[in-house]
Structure 1
Amino acid sequence: TPAYDSLSFSKGVTHDASSSGGAPRACAGNVRAGWKLLDSLGATQEGRARISSAMRLCPDSSLNSTDDVLGLKYWLASAWDYMAMGNFPYPSGYILNGHGQLPAYPVRVACSLGLHHYTPSSAQLLEGMAQAAGVYYNYSGSLSCLNWNQV
C-alpha cells in the first residue's frame, strides 16, 4: 500500500488560495494569519466580541467560549474546502446542490475580498475571513450577518 499524505486535501485547498493557483499572492498567508488571530482573540470574552463584530456574526451566533471559536474555525474552513472543490473556471451550482451559484473560481473571488493585501490590520483580516466565507455561505448576497452555528 502506498503511503498516504493525510494533509493532501488541505494542501490542495491552500494551492487554490496561492499565487500558483491564480489567487492574489498574499491570500494563503493571510488565511494562515487569520487562523492564528482567531485563536489568540478567541481566548478572551473581549477578543470574542471583537471577532463577532468584525466578522458581522448574527446575534444568535455569538461566541461564548473557546469551543465556539473552534466551531467558527471549522465553519470557515468548510467554506474554503467547498469553494476549492467547486473552483471551476465558470459559475456553478454543483457544490450548492443547485440552490444557487458560486462564481467562477470562487477561491480567487474569496481571496480578492479583503485577503489580498499584505499586512492587514486585525480587523481587516477578520473582515476578509468573513467576506471570503460569505462567497460560499452568502452566495445570494442576501444575508446581513453570518451565522456560523446554523447549517
Structure 2
Amino acid sequence: MRRTLILLLVGLLGIAIGSPKVRAQEEPTVPVARIKYDGGGDWYSDEQSLVELFAFARQHTLLDVARKEEVVELTTDKLFTYPYLYLTGHGNVTFSAAEADRLRRYLLQGGFLHIDDNYGLEEHIRPELEKVFPDKKLVEVPFD
C-alpha cells in the first residue's frame, strides 16, 4: 500500500512538473514580437539578436520566454497581445499619426518596448518617439 501511494505521488508530481513544460513549448507566457515599420530602416535586421536574448532569458530566469519572434505592425490589433515589443534597424523609421497613437496606447497600458540601435537608428527613432509622446521629453536614465 505504501509503495503504491509513493508511486502515485511521484506520478502526480511528474504530471504537475511536466505539464507546464509542454504548454510552454506550445504557447509561451512571454511572447515577443518584432515591429515591422515603414521608412526603409531595415526592421528585419540582426536576426540572431532575439534568438540569443530568448536563450539567455530561458537559461538564467524562470520566465517562459518565446522561442521564436513574431512580427507585428503597429496598425494591427494583435499588437496588444504582446507584452514585449522589439524594434531594431539602422536607418530611417517613420510612424504615421495612427501608428504613434497605437504605440502610445500600448505603452500606457503597460507594454514594453525594447529599441536596439543596430547602428544609425538613434537619430531616426528619437523624432518618432516624440510623435508617440509629444508632451514628454526623452531623458537618460541614470545607472544608479
TM range (shorter): under 0.3
Greater helix share, structure number: 1
**If the length of structure 2 is used for normalisation, what is the TM-score?**
0.26
